[in-house]
Amino acid sequence: MTPIPFALRALAVGLLAVVALVTTQGSNAHAAFTTQDARRGPARILIVAKEFSYALSRPRVSSGRVIVQLANAGEDVHNLRLRRRGAKRHRSLPRIDPGRWAGLDRKLKPGRYYLWCSVTDHEERGMRATLRVKRR
């Protein structure tokens, strides 16, 4: 059995902490937290990369300021590029070594965004995803 990478363990611990907090505070506290959070700050999404796929923490975010974080839980170097359907330019995160992460803080317009890894043949091997950005 291969050991679980540190980034994946840290993500799992963080998610368990959030679930525990929501469970102990009740459903009304959860609803208040998500509503206040949406009004206050940027949308956030975590993308976990491994051979040869992306796992998105959520399939859609609200338009406006979005923080995109890429965690490399794989054994190879990976990167992230994203382009809104119909756009000519793309945004990108650099190559990330295994066990490392990087972030991107940008304003995203509503639409469908195509995400892919541009390292060698990773995109062709399935390292791609779609993110929907909806109007606030």
Q: Residues 15-74: pLDDT tens digits?
A: 444 433 333 333 333 344 455 444 658 999 999 999 999 999 999 999 999 999 999 999
Residue 89 Cα distances to 3, 23, 34, 86, 117, angstroms:
38, 42, 32, 9, 16
Tokens of 20: 């525990």
Tell me how crowded residue 59 is: count the other CB atoms within 10 A of its CB.
Answer: 10
- Which tens digit of pLDDT belongs to each residue from 66-117? 999 999 999 999 999 999 999 999 999 999 999 999 999 999 999 999 999 9
- What is the Cα–Cα distance from 103 to 51, expressed in whole angstroms? 20
Give the domains, in start order, of the chain with CATH numbers: 42-134 (2.60.40.420)
pTM for the model stands at 0.71
- What is the Cα–Cα distance from 90 to 46, expressed in whole angstroms? 18
